[in-house]
């Protein structure tokens, strides 16, 4: 897809990967609508690229549809959706309370689906558009302490794959972005910082450039870094080895 002149909505665009994506899309000639919760930070990012701002907490039911409607109102259409907003959670699953579970399912899974539901029909009608869903390597691999987060990303993963097949010959592309560890505030925000020496985090700018390249070339999957593809391959071909490595990499289960 040629990005010049296209209208792109980036959720979670006020910081981290989202802010980097906003800058890369604008550099490619797109008109960017920056979504965020924080008005000041969102406006600062939008001002740097001459973009517009829409605000809303996607963890609240009904807000995704409002964000989609507000984004369309800016330029009359949305050609590209980058569903990036999300949050992590780490710890024993039994420690996750019901309210937090509902909030994170809405933010990490249901909000992207609602955004696609609202924005996809006009794309199909125009026979032009692209949907980029930011997943995680956690959706393809498993470690103790991330069962809940991995479940939401695994669901987003298979949604992207199925939707891409559904939209063949419509002119609308779908890409799943699969980053590993990224140097952002994600880990601090989830309440558990990243403390491992390997793998080393990649920058948000690296993920953003790979995402924009994936859009331009209609790639089904964009892995960042690329070597992460090895993990699901090991899981499929050598499940015993994969589980032993996962057990060493993840948090210790309760009582161990």
List Cα–Cα distances, 124 to 41, 128, 155, 221, 239, in angstroms.
33, 6, 23, 21, 40
Is 149 a catalytic site residue? yes
* Rounded-to-integer distance, Cα 92 and Cα 146, Å: 8
Residue 23's closest CA among 5, 48, 44?
A: 48
Please tell me the distance from the alpha carbon of residue 23 to that of residue 46, in angstroms, as a whole number.
9
Q: Report which of 48, 128, 40, 38 is spatially closest to residue 85, judged by C-alpha positions.
A: 38
What is the Cα–Cα distance from 46 to 62, expressed in whole angstroms?
Answer: 24
**Of the listed 149, 186, 223, 242, which one is catalytic?**
149
CA distance 118 to 99: 26
Please give the Cα distance from 85 to 107 (Å, whole number).
Answer: 7
Cα Rg, the chain, nearest whole Å: 18
Residue pair 15/35 in contact by the 8 Å Cβ criterion = no
223, β-bridge pairs: 178
Catalytic positions, written as ranges: 149
């Amino acid at each position: 897809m040629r990005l010049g002149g296209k209208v792109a909505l980036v959720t979670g665009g006020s910081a981290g990967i989202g802010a980097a994506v906003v800058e890369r899309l604008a550099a490619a000639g797109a008109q960017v609508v920056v979504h965020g919760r924080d008005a000041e930070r969102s406006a600062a990012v939008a001002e740097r690229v001459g973009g517009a701002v829409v605000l809303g907490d996607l963890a609240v039911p009904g807000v995704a549809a409002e964000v989609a409607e507000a984004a369309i109102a800016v330029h009359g259409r949305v050609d590209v959706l980058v569903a990036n907003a999300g949050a992590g959670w780490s710890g024993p699953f039994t420690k996750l309370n019901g309210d937090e579970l509902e909030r994170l399912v809405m933010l990490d899974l249901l909000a992207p689906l609602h955004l696609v539901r609202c924005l996809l029909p006009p794309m199909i009608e125009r026979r032009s558009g692209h949907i980029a869903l930011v997943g995680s390597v956690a959706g393809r691999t498993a470690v103790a302490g991330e069962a809940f987060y991995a479940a939401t990303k695994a669901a987003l993963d298979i949604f992207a794959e199925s939707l891409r097949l559904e939209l063949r010959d419509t002119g609308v592309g779908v890409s799943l972005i699969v980053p590993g560890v990224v140097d952002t505030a994600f880990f601090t925000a989830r309440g558990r910082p990243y403390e491992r020496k390997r793998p080393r985090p990649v920058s948000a700018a690296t993920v953003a450039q790979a995402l924009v390249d994936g859009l331009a070339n209609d790639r089904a999957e964009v892995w960042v870094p690329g070597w992460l593809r090895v993990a699901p391959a090991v899981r499929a071909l050598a499940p015993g080895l994969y589980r032993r490595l996962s057990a060493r990499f993840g948090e210790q289960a309760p009582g161990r």
